[in-house]
Chains A and B, each alone.
Chain A
């Protein structure tokens, strides 16, 4: 049973470019979460999605960031016009439907903005 998959694992962008991060949840999991981790810090919640629905985006910056989880295909976190402060590790986690669903993390995408 494949785990949570994320790609790319590493992404380098210049300031002003767009970054697209992809996440495929574990089989049977319908909930996806995105977290951001700055070096030497904890994980900060960004957004929680179910298929075709954004459930909670209270942790997302208001501008330049968006997320989707289409009916078919992976969840995508999109960062437009990246700035140096966007450099971080972005982790996706997925969980099954039940309330106690454990969140399993993917390997992360490390974004570096030059």
Chain B
């Protein structure tokens, strides 16, 4: 089953914060976050493995609550370059390696 992302879209002003959520009905081994700009390839942001870890680089961080099968992506002090569609990809336990992607969250940062 496809993970559910929320919100579907968000509009921010430069400098504001945003949270994007990703939840799955399946037990997860890992969650992968990507950003895609229009007409371009998805760009890898970070991977979170089960263990409830939190990761971050620059002003983008993420958490993974394996008990709730949820991950959240946090964007703080957003910049214009953060605009794009954010996808979470989930990997269940077991031997599967293909990611199942959510339908995406469209983020627009305005000046």
Contact = CB atoms under 8 A, between A and B. Distances in A.
Q: A and B bound?
A: yes
Contact of A45 (B34, B40, B41, B99): B99
Contact of A100 (B41, B47, B99): B47
Interface in A79-114: 91, 95, 99-108
Contact of A56 (B43, B87, B89, B98): B98
A42 B103 contact: yes
B98 A33 contact: yes
Interface residues of A, number: 24
Interface of A: 31, 33, 35, 41-45, 48, 55-56, 59, 91, 95, 99-108
A42 B102 contact: yes
A65 B101 CA distance: 21
Contact of A103 (B44, B49, B102, B104): B44
Q: Is the interface of A mostly helix, strand, loop or mixed?
A: strand
A83 B103 CA distance: 24
A41 B104 CA distance: 8
A55 B70 CA distance: 28
Given A41-B103, A42-B2, A48 B98 contact: yes
Contacts of A100: 30, 47, 49
Contacts of B61: none
Interface string B92-104: 0000111111111
A1 to B, nearest CB: 14
B42 interface: yes
